[in-house]
Chains A and B, each alone.
Chain A
Amino acid sequence: MSVLKRWRVWVSLFMLSFCFYAIKPNFSENQVSQKINFGLDIQGGYSYLLELNQGEYKENLLTKTSQILESAYNINSSINNGNIVIPTNQNLDALDNITIQSLGIELLDNTSDEYIYSISEQSFNQSLSDMTLNAVEIVRSRVDYLGNKELSIQKVGLNKILLEIPGNLDSNVKDVISKTAKLTLHLEKKTFANTTLFTNESTGEEVRVQEIANLTGDYIQDASLQFSQNEPVVSFSFNKEGSELFAKMTSENVGKRFAIVLDGALITAPVIREAITGGSGQISGNFTNETANNLAIILKSGSLPTQISIIQEKQVGPTLGQAGVKKGVYASLIALIVITLFMIAYYRVSGLFTALTIVTCLALLFALMSLLNTTLTLPGVIGIVLTIGMCVDANVLVFERIRENFQSKIDNPKNDGFNAAYITILDSNLTTLFAAVFLFAFGFGPIRGFSISLIIGILSSLIVTYVLLKLFLEITPSKYIGLNR
């Protein structure tokens, strides 16, 4: 059996079984990680692109750096125009190069009476990126608490977060993700210096409090929706450190009011009746069940490092997606059948090879997509149709070369023809492949979906053509392949 001596036989068999095993999980009822996911445009759902406020983060970072300078190096500095300004009369010996680098700042300018430092771009971007990763986790836990389990959330660029949730719209999601949730407690103060007046817009409640917060929500460990006299309230508990601070604050100020402020707006300003030592408290104030639950969720998830804004929002109704998929699949299948029939009519037996090559190419494509856990979108479907086109093109190139060789009566028409054509195929496909890789790296949204299926498609087509198509041509006697007419 000379056929069994060919390595292509074994590679083909291996490839087919690989496809089988890689595609199989897609039909499994269980939750498996290695399968093709469907994009929102296919299964319906909604997505938000969130952006963290870069300017605000920079201010925070500047303030923090300035504080570190003061506490760790005893250097007084001020912030001016996004830079840190250190007067020359400060003791600057501690600021050696290593310290400057670890602080992520660089000298911008110096005059006779001040040094101006800016935050180095690299350090800022790194820090911004880390902060966004942190924010991703906070947003994830907020949406998780609402009970959306199948969400996909990822960092995009330096300071963006893409949140995608399949299924029907849950209007609470927008509410919980867009709040910064900076909770602060401020003690009442009657003087004007360093105080702010807060007014609750819906109840008209007013309180003048000290500007700097006495306690922040960072110490909150848990929060939940409770009912007090049939009214929904949010009860929260502090961690150990927070409990101690809260106990100290309440015991020293019995009889005074304190303001509970969320993202700069007064929620309520209760009177401290007695010292609260248990480390837990309650916030009441015109909540509905939903708003109280949302507040509890964002309190226990922690506050976001900066304000967040939704810069892109998309909702796809499930009917469109499903109809779209059906149509897309039909369109692809019909395109496949039409092309196959045409190839068979034109090339006879070789056309049949093309049909088998395309089907295997598609199988390999889906297998690789499953293995890489790719998300298939509608532009991705177009990428797949294009893959079919490129695979057909490869076949045509090979067949035409072999046909030429038969005509010019070259010794080994099939092998030489295949090899000559394959160089052309490699050249043309690799250019497209490189372009697709760069598209994937720089592109966004539909461009990425399209380029990923194109990348995998080109690779599959190159492999299948090299292994399977050549095998078919090798093992079929020349007079049967239909190219020497």
Chain B
Amino acid sequence: MIAFYSFRKKSYLISLFLIILTTSIIFFKGLNLGIDFKGGLNIEVETTLSNAELSSFIRDLDLNREFIIKKEIGSDIFSIRIESGKDNANFIEEFISLIKQNPSIEILISEYIEPTFSDELIKNSLYALASSLIVIAFYVWIRFDWQFAISGIVALLHDVYISMGFMSLFNIEFNLTMIAALLLIAGYSINDTIVLFDRVRSITSAENNKDTFENNVNYSVKLNLRRTILTSFTTILALLCLVVLAPINLTEMPIVFIFGVIIGTYSSIFIALGLVGDLNYEAVLKARDS
């Protein structure tokens, strides 16, 4: 039998390394905050111009505002992000009318968000995140023992945090859609963890089972391994279809999610189950037996 459980100490080290890596990436590189969380203007255009031509065209407009241009890979679509300033409402109107003078540029999306509102969105998203995490922990705590609730939540936070590091590393814009992606990862992670928890609980609490906790965990993971591989595989398959075929402004979400699926599968087997053992779940079982 593969010794999944005894690998947990090594996996703690790996995860610790990943967490430190994520922290330093976020600390030094920062999150690429989109206008949802920073305020400002965002205009997506489709044009045959090159990046340099588009840049000089916009520079010549004398906006008096900082702007960044980013080309979406594999398309003629550029996103132009402009910092927020006074009277964004009129500014964006004027900017659009100036751009429309150039017939080779087509405007796909234009939007702006006042910084006061983006502050509110940050608060709002944090509420959403925190409240759903609490609900998840509460549910797991009711259905299982507290060791499971803590381990499940730790594994989940681990997955979400490292996924944020992944986003920062690859300069993926952090916006409301990405909050949804992170929650999706949280959902997938807890889903995967609970399936394993269920198995461990039913095996360890079987009456005629006198095996060690370690062997029981290994046996549970082995029984579930096919399911874990099949589900991760089919989910990634579906997401790959989205990456390749989805509209340009939606490719980043499935990429982040694929990363989340991989890290979530890893953390369920090694981190979550390892922690359940290290939180001395065996003692609970022994107390129950006697």
Write the residues of chain A forming the contact surface with B, with a CB cutoff of 8 angstroms. 49, 51, 171, 174, 178, 309-317, 319-320, 323-324, 327-328, 330-332, 334-335, 338-339, 342-343, 346, 378-379, 382, 385-386, 388-390, 392-393, 396-397, 400, 404, 420, 423-424, 427-432, 434-439, 441-447, 450-451, 454
B89 nearest CB neighbor, chain A only: A310
A residues near B184, Cβ cutoff 8 Å: 382, 386, 450
- Excluding A346-B230, A378-B247, 20 further A-B contacts by CB distance (< 8 Å) are A311-B116, A313-B88, A313-B89, A314-B111, A315-B107, A316-B108, A327-B247, A328-B247, A331-B241, A331-B242, A331-B244, A392-B235, A400-B230, A428-B195, A429-B191, A438-B132, A442-B127, A444-B176, A450-B184, A451-B180
B residues near A174, Cβ cutoff 8 Å: 89, 93
Band of interface residues on B: 35 or more
B residues near A439, Cβ cutoff 8 Å: 128, 132, 180, 183
Contact between chains at B125 and A320 (CB < 8 Å): no
Contact between chains at A317 and B242 (CB < 8 Å): no
With A and B bound together, what is the CA distance between A435 and B235 in angstroms? 20
A residues near B202, Cβ cutoff 8 Å: 420
A320 and B44 in contact, given A393-B231, A431-B194 (Cβ under 8 angstroms): yes
Of the listed stretches B5-13, B62-70, B133-141, chain A binds B133-141
Give 1 or 0 for each of B110-145: 1 = CB within 8 Å of chain A CB.
111110110001001101100111011001100100
Q: Looking at the complex, which one of B198, B234, B246 makes contact with A427 (CB distance below 8 Å)? A: B198
B residues near A437, Cβ cutoff 8 Å: 135
Q: Is chain B's interface secondary structure helix, strand, loop, or mixed overall?
A: helix
B137 nearest CB neighbor, chain A only: A431
With A and B bound together, what is the CA distance between A382 and B227 in angstroms? 23
Among B108, B226, B253, residue most surrounded by chain A Cβ atoms (within 10 Å)? B108
With A and B bound together, what is the CA distance between A317 and B191 in angstroms? 38
Assess whether B223 is interfacial by the CB under 8 Å rule. Answer: yes
A residues near B21, Cβ cutoff 8 Å: none
A390 nearest CB neighbor, chain B only: B191
Q: How far is the CB of B145 from chain A (nearest CB, A)?
A: 14
Q: Looking at the complex, which one of B191, B238, B250 makes contact with A388 (CB distance below 8 Å)? A: B238
Q: Looking at the complex, which one of B114, B140, B238 makes contact with A389 (CB distance below 8 Å)? A: B238
Q: Looking at the complex, which one of A171, A312, A328 makes contact with B112 (CB distance below 8 Å)? A: A312
Contact between chains at A335 and B237 (CB < 8 Å): yes
Contact between chains at A438 and B131 (CB < 8 Å): yes
B139 nearest CB neighbor, chain A only: A431
Q: How far is the CB of A331 from chain B (nearest CB, A)?
A: 4
Contact between chains at B191 and A431 (CB < 8 Å): yes
A residues near B107, Cβ cutoff 8 Å: 315, 317
With A and B bound together, what is the CA distance between A390 and B191 in angstroms? 9
Among A327, A429, A432, residue most surrounded by chain B Cβ atoms (within 10 Å)? A432
